[in-house]
Amino acid sequence: MNHPYRWVIVAAGGLLGCVAMGAMFSLPIFLRPMSHDTGWSVAGISAAMTFGFLSMGAASLAWGSLSDRYGSRPVVLVGSVVLAASLALASRATSLAEFQLVFGLLVGTATAAVFAPMMACVTGWFDTQRGLAVSLVSAGMGMAPMTMAPLAAWLVTAYGWRSAMLAVAGIAAALMIPAALLVRRPPTPDDGTQAGMAAGERPADMTVAEAVRSRQFILLMLANFFCCATHSGPIFHTVSYAVTCGIPMIAAVTIYSVEGLAGMFGRIGFGLAGDRFGAQRVLVIGLLAQAFAVLAYASVNRLAGFYVVATAVGFIYAGTMPLYAVIVRENFPLKMMGTVIGALAMAGSLGMSTGPLLGGLIYDRLDSYTLMYVGSWGMGLAAMLILMAFRPFPRTRAEAVQVG
């Protein structure tokens, strides 16, 4: 399948992901200004992010299943509208509980409408260069720290957190709604094979029930959970950690941007490596490297050191994430891509939910983030060991003939 429109899908997916993830991940930028302005605790505001990830997890499977049934365009369009509206509502919150409910439930649910449907859509458009394609979409998401984060930091410094969050809502609406209208279903395969079987893809007659009970599915879910738990705390709390080390807020935000810039190169690099050497092999190496990279944050306290570690962490963790979608596409039929990737996103969101709250609780109690980084290291090693146990579905004789 070499239709030129497939690259429009990649561009639309990258933009949608950049704005959606940038809007949600702008909360770390608002963390201290909100706490100072309202008197809300760091842990309490961080909990809104945890609730957001839990909402993403609960909604990802539903959005993915809906995209399998109705297509990705209506799903991402609805998500874009809800995201902008919920950010606007969150900017008007008058209590911590209200903010936690609006940001945690609505923003998290709306953000989930982008990732799984767009990844499923993109993998359906590509039979070759699939690793590169999903990596480019993910690279768009990785641009959020270099675009939305500095913008949010400037807005909150100049106008306060409420006006800044309202402005982010307007930007989300202006960019995401037109991009969602560009999304189309993948063309029907010319050869009429069931569910668009591609080279290397496993059983076409597999049902969703069989898929979710399979050992392969369970191991991918567990690996993604621990992988995301590894970097969730460091992503959310590193700007705050840098501020506690005496680094000014505007300078601390640049650490986030450096991490995002490195992540763009990581996504493309890991995607190309996955196409050449195999997605699982490259992902196992990446998970091991990620564990030690996040641990390195505990040993730095100056801006130059943060930049070095952020470069390594961003390159590695961002590079690993798109490879899960490639492994899914190689092991499950196209007809259930949205559902399976949505379930995988659910596991990842649950993993991401651990870091903000636990990191906030650790800091509030110990006045230090060191234990958070050590715990992240342990979860990174767990993710690597789980993925090493993954074995692809065996090909049937018919599929071996097709591929050969």
Query: Looking at the predicted structure, is the pLDDT value of residue 403 above 70?
Result: no
Query: Looking at the predicted structure, is the pLDDT value of residue 193 above 60?
Result: no
Task: Sort residue 40 into left (φ over 0), alpha (ψ -120 to 50) or beta.
Answer: beta
pLDDT tens digit string along 127-154?
A: 766 677 877 787 777 677 677 877 888 8
Average pLDDT over residues 72-76: 91
DSSP conformation letters of 29-87 = HHHHHHHHHH---HHHHHHHHHHHHHHHHHHHHHHHHHHHHH-HHHHHHHHHHHHHHHH
Query: Looking at the predicted structure, is the pLDDT value of residue 21 above 50?
Result: yes
Average pLDDT over residues 172-200: 70
Both tokens of 234, joined, read: 């460091």
The pLDDT value given to residue 276 = 83
Task: Answer for the pair 291, 377: CB distance below 8 angstroms, yes or no.
Answer: yes
> What average pLDDT does the structure give for the chain?
84
> Tokens 């564990």 belong to which residue?
291
> What amino acid is encoded at 232 in this protein?
S
Domain boundaries, the chain: 6-186+193-403
> Tokens 């940038």 belong to which residue?
22
The pLDDT value given to residue 202 = 52
pLDDT tens digit string along 332-363?
A: 887 788 888 888 888 887 888 788 778 888 88
Q: For the chain, what is the radius of gyration of the CA atoms?
A: 20
CATH of domain 6-186+193-403: 1.20.1250.20
> DSSP label at 214?
S
Query: Looking at the predicted structure, is the pLDDT value of residue 364 above 90?
Result: no
